[in-house]
Amino acid sequence: MSAQEPIRIAVVGHTNAGKTSLLRTLTRRVDFGEVSRQPGTTRHVEAIELRVDGRAAVRFLDTPGLEDAVALREHIDGFDARGELTPPERIRRFLAGPEAHGVFEQEAKVLRALLEVDAAFLVIDAREPVLPKFRAEIELLGACARPLLPVLNFLRGAGSREGAWKELLSAYGLHVVVRFDAAAPFVGAERELYRDLATLLRERRPQLDRIAAFLDAESARRREAAGERIAELLVDAAAMRRTASAVEFQIESSRERLIAALRKALFDKAQRCASDLLALYGFRENDADEAPLTLVEGRWTMDFFHPEALKHAGILLGKGVAVGAAVGVVADLALAGLSLGAGAALGGAIGGALSQGFGPLGRKLANKLRDVHELTVEDSVLVVLAAWQLKLLRALEQRGHAAVDRIAAGAPADELEGARRPLAELVRAAQPARSHPDWDSETRLRWREAPQRRDVVLRVAQQVPAAIQALENAGPGAA
């Protein structure tokens, strides 16, 4: 077979072991097949390809679950009472008989596929007890004389029997075993899967090494694109500005409408960024926690308006790395600052502070003469906004496409302290946008990005890896 042809791999195993789940994660196709906790979901052999540099590198065959391996093994053994046939010959004799289209139809589909591939992944739910039926399955699959690479799945679940499974597999000569959780993959597990497969398919090693290298590079590109998208959000948010006359601002109901409109506009920007991150990592929007607000129901919540989160961010910014001053809602009155005294009531959500700087002095003087007030998004909100997006990014990087639970959107306040400097650097890098309200992508009907804005976005994006690392070190799972 040409080295340019896709490697053919059958994904086999007991019913409900997670075969389709594994393939969703390996191919990043959340819509492939059907994943369910009900047994026997896959009833036919389905093919899916992993493409590398635009070409099919691996062709996977998702097979039905083996349902009655014990009875089938006894049936096949009956073909060769005198022991004259090799194991593959016995399998082929069974496939030529009527039972392969009757009582053992599901098992026949699996064995027929296995005879046509280069190798197979034997997917095992490590939570299952080691029962006789599994020994029968291993014997049947081994009889097809194709390299088998056991994949221990769902290792993070309670009650994993990893040790017992490894002992059984070793008894059948299967010493190379991959630890892979399709719902929450281990770091580097995908790369190791292909490198371990190369020990079984030595003639395809160069091709498998290229696949592993491609996946590493793809992961780096994905994180870089995600970081740039978060940077765009921060620059966009820092550039946001709403103006109102003094008369409008003195009327409480009018002032509240202005603040609510700015708050909603920022919220919508954050939700669009979250949707873009979900799409970048191959997930659907409704794969994340439902928001408690009806306007974004079914989408991932950015509760960066929560008073506790903002209070924590205010403390964070006050520890020697502050890039802004106040936590609360304030309006810029040209050369002076007027506190609205609404910080507590509004959860410190939207506002601006004189010390943050709102652009050239000339604009402030003009506003003073015109008696115009401005509302902007303050730094503490930007810190919490960045932390929420980075938390989502981390969750997506650690999530398999087999997961059926929704992506949790817990508050990141407890993690902010350990990441305070990198988060502050993110916000500091976005500060030039405060002098450019035209950098807000929603300010014009036909918006075209200025080169200077792109430079600032890239500078902010350069700070993202350090912030991600800091959050990882400060997170609940950190060592």
Tens-digit pLDDT profile for residues 297-339: 223 344 454 554 455 555 455 543 333 332 233 333 322 332 3
Contacts 24+ apart (CB under 8 A), 25-28: 25/182, 25/185, 25/190, 25/400, 25/401, 25/402, 26/50, 26/60, 26/190, 26/193, 27/60, 28/281, 28/282, 28/401
pLDDT at res. 314: 52
Per-residue pLDDT, 371: 62
Q: What stretches in the chain show pLDDT beneath 70?
A: 1-3, 30-43, 157, 182-188, 284-372, 400-417, 443-447, 475-479
Architecture of domain 7-200: 3-Layer(aba) Sandwich (3.40)
Residues 155 and 9: their CA atoms lie apart, in Å, by: 22
d(CA 212, CA 209): 5
Instruction: Name 341's Cβ contacts closer than 8 Å, sequence gap at least 6.
Output: none
Alpha-carbon dihedral angle through residues 73, 75, 79, 84, given to the nearest 10 degrees: 20
Instruction: Count Cβ atoms below 10 Å from residue 297 Cβ, excluding itself.
Output: 10
Beta-bridged to residue 124, according to DSSP, are: 152
Cβ–Cβ < 8 Å for 89, 76? no
In contact, 10 and 118? CB cutoff 8 Å:
no
Q: What is the pLDDT of residue 234?
A: 95
User: Does the reported pTM lie above 0.75?
Assistant: no
Q: How far apart are the first and last CA of the chain?
A: 47
CB 373 within 8 A of CB 245: yes
pLDDT at residue 40, rounded to an integer: 42
d(CA 313, CA 315): 5
Range list for CATH 3.40.50.300 in the chain = 7-200
Q: What is the pLDDT of residue 154?
A: 81
CB 423, CB 470: distance < 8 Å: yes
Question: CA distances (Å), 137 to each of 14, 74, 111, 225, in order?
Answer: 8, 12, 11, 44
